[in-house]
Structure 1
C-alpha cells in the first residue's frame, strides 16, 4: 500500500535538503517521532511515541543524491516499507518536495487501512512543518537556522 505527499516550499533546494537530512532534528517536524539516533552513516534508529510504550525502528539509508533524492527502507519492523523523498528546484528560490512510501503489511491487512491513514497524516504534517521552518529561515544561513530549531550543527 502506498502513501504519497508533496508540497512547494518558498526556500532554496539546498536549504530544504539540509533540513531533511538533519535527522536528529526531525522530531521537531514529525510530532509522533520522539528521537532519531544515528548509528552509522546508513543506519538510524527512530523512536516513535506509541501507547503503551515507545517503538524503536531501524531505518536504513539506501541512497542519497544531494539536493535531489533520498531513499530509505525499514526491513526489521513488523510492517516493512521503502520510502523515497525527491527535491525539485523550481523557479526562484522555491522547492517542490515529493515523498512516497510503500508499506508491506503481509498477513496484517486488517490494520493496513488505519496505518495508511496515520502514515498519510504524519507525512502531510511533516511536509507542512518542514515548509514552515524552511520558509521562516530562508534568508538565514543554515548554521543559524539549525541553532533556532535546537538541531545539532553539522
Structure 2
C-alpha cells in the first residue's frame, strides 16, 4: 500500500486540534471540495463532495479514536480505500504538531488495465494526487483552527 505523511505545527493546544479532526462536521472547513459532512452514527459520517468530474457522497468510518492523541478514519468508494491517521503531539500548552498519514489502496486491476499499465501504476497515480492535497489540507486546518481559537 502506498502512503504519504505530512506534518504541521499549529498555534492551538493538541486537544483543540484533535477535536477538529475527530468531528466530521468540522472537516468541510479545511478539506477542499467537501461541501457537507453529516454524522450518521457515532462511528460513521457521510460526506458530500463536488469535483469538476462530478459530485457525490462518500462514507467515512471511525476506525480508532484516542482522545487528544490520535484519530483514524477510513474512506471507501468504488473499490478504492483510503485511511487517514492523524496524531497530535503537544509542544507546549498552546501549540501542537499534527502528523497526518494517508494510505491508499485501489481495487485489483482488470486484465485490460494490466495490459496497458505497469503493476502499481494506478496506486502511484492516486498517491501522487493524494500527496499533492495533504499539505493543502493541513495548511487549511491550521488556518481554520487558529481562526476559531
Q: CA deviation at 1:39?
A: 0.8
Aligned to 1:111: 122
Work out the CA distance in 2 between the residues paired with 1:43 and 1:79: 17
Deviations 1:88-136 (A, max 9, x none): 1113411110111211113344433332222122221111111112223
The ranges of structure 1 where at least 4 consecutive aligned residues each deviate by more than 4 angstroms after the TM superposition are: none
Is the partner of 1:30 in helix, strand or coil?
coil
Aligned to 1:129: 140
- The runs of 5 or more residues in structure 1 that have no matched partner are 139-154
Deviations 1:3-40 (A, max 9, x none): 21111111111111122223212112111212212110
TM-score normalised to the size of structure 2? Answer: 0.81
Aligned to 1:120: 131
1:1-150, aligned counterparts within 5 Å?
1-108=2-109, 109-138=120-149
Q: CA deviation at 1:76?
A: 4.9
Question: Structure 1's 136 and 75: CA in aligned 2 closer, same or farther, altered over 3 A?
Answer: closer
Contact 1:58/1:77, CA 8 A, preserved across alignment: no
Q: CA deviation at 1:78?
A: 2.3
TM-score normalised to the size of structure 1? Answer: 0.79
Contact 1:73/1:83, CA 8 A, preserved across alignment: yes
More strand by share: 2
Aligned length: 138
CA RMSD of aligned residues (A): 1.9
Larger Rg: 2
